[in-house]
């Protein structure tokens, strides 16, 4: 009986190791595929924008615009697939370092400055300097990139971005923006399976916010959203000594 039990344990352990290896291979395949798709997609978007810019007349503008919108939509969802893969990797092992959160947020806003300006948003930015914690810089930057991308897709009019002390042990980052139309109710806004129909295209509010929530949870922070007086508000709370 003892030999039978040992043999069964050995088989179970071998099967588990094989499963872990297969899961690792699948994750690596997904990572490779998303990067392989990203390159030609980026090139295609660049070419269609160039063709539309250099067109000789307005006859084909609508067609160019539809092609570009669809390519950007594919790029949008590919972006979140890459984030999902990143989360799977980081859940196993975070790369912690001393990160200046203030500079990281300012840096991402600077990177998106042209896009935010082109959209005509009225930006109010209030960032407390030199707020530093131990965290994973890659995941934190992805949080900021996702939230700024959401502004570019859904914000209309006023936008307020702040990083301020909440109490003696916590600070809070707030993204607050007006919207052209009411978004989903709080409970639905972080449902990855729910999409909001905006300008006749399914653009996923739920998917983007669910990714942000997962990233923040992985970093040990708190994520909250609310709607107030025509504004959509995302609040991220961290301890000063996050670990």
Task: List pLDDT tens digits, range 18-62.
Answer: 666 666 666 666 666 676 677 777 777 887 777 777 776 666 777
Neighbours of 12 (CB within 10 A): 10
3-state helix/strand/coil string of 36-56: HHHHHHHHHHHHHHHHHHCCC
pLDDT at 134 over 90: yes
Strands 122-127 and 170-179: unpaired
User: Rounded CA gap, 149 and 111, in Å?
Assistant: 11
User: Rounded CA gap, 35 and 20, in Å?
Assistant: 23
pLDDT at 202 over 50: no
For 204-240, write each residue's pLDDT tens digit: 555 678 889 989 999 999 999 998 888 999 999 999 8
Please state the domain extents for the chain.
Answer: 2-90, 97-239
* The CATH number of domain 97-239 is 3.30.565.10: yes
Strands 96-100 and 155-165: unpaired
Residue 232 near residue 241 (C-beta atoms within 8 A) = no
Q: Do domains 2-90 and 97-239 have the same CATH topology?
A: no
Decide: helix, strand or coil at residue 123. Answer: strand
pLDDT at 172 over 80: yes
For 70-100, write each residue's pLDDT tens digit: 787 777 777 767 777 777 777 667 889 999 9
> In the predicted model, what is the mean pLDDT of the chain?
79
Residue 207 near residue 195 (C-beta atoms within 8 A) = yes
Q: pLDDT grade, residue 185 (50/70/90)? A: very low
Residue 96's DSSP bridge partners are: 136
User: Rounded CA gap, 81 and 31, in Å?
Assistant: 9
What fold characterizes domain 2-90?
A: Helix Hairpins (1.10.287)
Decide: helix, strand or coil at residue 186. Answer: helix
């Amino acid at each position: 009986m003892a030999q039978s039990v040992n043999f069964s344990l050995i088989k179970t352990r071998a099967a588990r190791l094989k499963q872990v290896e297969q899961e690792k291979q699948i994750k690596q395949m997904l990572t490779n595929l998303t990067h392989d798709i990203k390159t030609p997609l980026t090139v295609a978007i660049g070419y269609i924008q160039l063709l539309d810019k250099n067109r000789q007349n307005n006859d084909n503008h609508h067609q160019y615009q539809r092609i570009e919108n669809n390519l950007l939509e594919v790029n949008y969802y590919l972006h979140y697939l890459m984030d999902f893969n990143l989360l799977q990797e980081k859940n196993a092992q975070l790369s912690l370092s001393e990160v200046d959160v203030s500079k990281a947020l300012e840096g991402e806003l600077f990177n998106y400055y042209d896009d935010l300006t082109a959209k005509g948003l009225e930006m109010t930015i209030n960032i407390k300097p030199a707020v530093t914690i131990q965290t994973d810089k890659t995941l934190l930057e992805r949080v900021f990139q996702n939230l700024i991308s959401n502004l570019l897709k859904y914000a209309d009019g006023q936008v307020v971005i702040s990083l301020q002390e909440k109490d003696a042990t916590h600070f809070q980052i707030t993204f607050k923006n007006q919207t052209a139309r009411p978004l989903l109710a709080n409970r639905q806004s972080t449902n990855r399976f729910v999409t909001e129909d905006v300008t006749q295209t399914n653009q996923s509010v739920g998917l983007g916010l669910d990714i942000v929530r997962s990233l923040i949870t992985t970093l040990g922070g708190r994520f909250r959203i609310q709607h107030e007086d025509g504004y959509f508000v995302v609040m991220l709370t961290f301890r000063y000594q996050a670990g």
